[in-house]
């Protein structure tokens, strides 16, 4: 559905670059929920924008391409720079912060009309579109009355549901969601995740969820990737990542999670990630890794296969032949 080929992206700060995404290489399959996890500032939200072709200055792709397969075809595709023509119909995006991305002076109905006008090739009348939107909201167990509301009249959870409804109304084959549960209480978080899963199940499309919350990935995703300092350092089936993590960073992330009945003291990950303006030459995790050697500080680890559809980049696991591969 969506294929990333050695994608690197950076923020152009005029006198310097922040290299937020470095040589990311993986593929999203049809009918799966793929999670992207990692600490704040690791590049996961930037990567999602690149996957959506949302490249506003200062963000730019420095190398590689994102390929979107049209109409779930296995051969026909469009690449970075052309994806905008397929927004809403083939690929849609649920951005972070529902309040800030909605037009505060526009009713929800107008926001739906603006969004679906791109996909309205059949030139349906406004009345017909309104009926279809109301019907879709009912399918999602939302009242069509919200169409008359302004964003500030809705709760945070309701705004997030509206954003998901907007993004999925035209049944896109790929949905990208950036931190869909951030700043919501746990009950609303559960409702939002349930809504996302039921939409994906009904449409049998592909969904990519970016979240720093490992609990979200555990509950929702089929496969996931772990990002560190702009690189995808491990990719695999979600249960493998949680039960058999291979990269030392992933092991520390999983080890720091609370578990039912486990009262032992949890350790955080010491130190901070490196600056992405001038990242270190070798493994970017070396300064925080208890297994680091001199070689780790000089040699960039390549991604190797460590299990069924499971890949990781650490010198302890051996050296492969390419960048962040995912067995495409
Ligand atoms: Fe640690 Fe070396 Fe592996 Fe990096 S390559 S994660 S520093 S052991």
Separation of CA 272 and ligand 1 centre (Å): 15
Separation of CA 319 and ligand 1 centre (Å): 12
Separation of CA 318 and ligand 1 centre (Å): 11
Separation of CA 228 and ligand 1 centre (Å): 12
Pair of tokens at residue 146:
């919200």
End-to-end Cα distance, the chain:
12
| Ligand 1 atom closest to 284 (CA) | 4
pLDDT on residue 121: 64
Q: Please identify which residue in the block is written with the tokens 């999983």.
A: 254
Measuring CA to CA, which residue among 5, 1, 3, 2 is closest to residue 324?
Answer: 5
Task: Point out the residues of the chain with pLDDT beneath 50.
Answer: 321-328
Pair of tokens at residue 6:
């050695």
pLDDT single digits (tens) 36-77: 999 999 999 999 999 999 999 999 999 999 999 987 777 888
Pair of tokens at residue 127:
């009345």
- Second CATH level (architecture) for the domain 2-221: 3-Layer(aba) Sandwich (3.40)
Neighbours of 24 (CB within 10 A): 27
Distance CA 185, CA 50 (A): 29
Q: Kindly report the average pLDDT of the chain as a whole number.
A: 91
Residues 6+ positions from 321 with CB-CB distance below 8 Å: 302
Residue 9 bridge partners (DSSP): 21, 61
Indicate the pTM of the whole model.
0.92
pLDDT on residue 324: 45
H or E stretch covering 22:
strand 17-28
pLDDT on residue 322: 47
Q: Is there an atom of ligand 1 within 6 Å of 301 CB?
A: yes
Distance CA 305, CA 136 (A): 42
Q: Is there an atom of ligand 1 within 6 Å of 248 CB?
A: yes
Q: Please identify which residue in the block is written with the tokens 């951030």.
A: 182
Pair of tokens at residue 211:
């979240």
Q: In what order do the strands lie in the sheet with 2-12?
A: 17-28, 2-12, 59-69, 77-79
Q: Is there an atom of ligand 1 within 6 Å of 282 CB?
A: no
Residues 142/133, Cβ–Cβ less than 8 Å: no
pLDDT on residue 120: 63
Distance CA 275, CA 287 (A): 12
| Ligand 1 atom closest to 283 (CA) | 4
DSSP string, 245-264: --SHHHHHHHHTS--TT--S
H or E stretch covering 243:
helix 238-243
């Amino acid at each position: 559905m969506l294929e990333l080929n050695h994608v690197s992206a950076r923020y152009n700060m005029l006198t310097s670059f922040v290299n937020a995404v470095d040589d990311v290489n993986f593929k999203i399959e049809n009918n799966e929920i793929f999670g992207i996890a990692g600490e704040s500032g690791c590049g996961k939200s930037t990567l999602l924008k690149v996957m959506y072709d949302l490249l506003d200055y200062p963000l730019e792709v420095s190398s590689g391409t994102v390929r979107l397969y049209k109409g779930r075809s296995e051969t026909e595709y469009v690449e970075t720079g052309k994806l905008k023509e397929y927004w809403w119909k083939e690929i849609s995006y649920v951005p972070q912060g529902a309040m800030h991305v909605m037009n505060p002076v526009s009713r929800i109905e107008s926001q739906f009309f603006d969004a679906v006008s791109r996909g309205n090739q059949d030139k349906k009348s406004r009345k017909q579109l309104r009926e279809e939107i109301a019907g879709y909201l009912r399918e999602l167990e939302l009242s069509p009355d919200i169409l008359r509301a302004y964003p500030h009249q809705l709760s945070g959870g309701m705004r997030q549901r509206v954003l998901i409804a907007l993004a999925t109304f035209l049944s896109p084959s790929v949905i990208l969601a950036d931190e869909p549960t951030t700043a919501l209480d746990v009950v609303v978080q559960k409702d939002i995740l349930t809504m996302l899963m039921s939409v994906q199940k009904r449409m049998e499309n592909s969904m990519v969820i970016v979240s720093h919350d490992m609990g979200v990935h555990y509950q929702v995703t089929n496969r996931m990737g772990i990002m560190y300092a702009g690189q995808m350092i491990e990719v695999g089936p979600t249960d493998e990542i949680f039960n058999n993590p291979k990269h030392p960073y992933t092991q520390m992330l999983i080890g720091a999670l609370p578990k039912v009945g486990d009262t032992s003291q949890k350790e955080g990950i010491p130190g901070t990630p490196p600056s992405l303006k001038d990242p270190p030459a070798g493994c970017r995790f070396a300064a925080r890794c208890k297994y680091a050697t001199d070689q780790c500080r000089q040699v960039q680890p390549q991604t190797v296969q460590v299990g069924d559809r499971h890949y990781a980049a650490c010198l302890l696991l051996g050296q492969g032949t390419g960048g962040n591969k995912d067995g495409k």
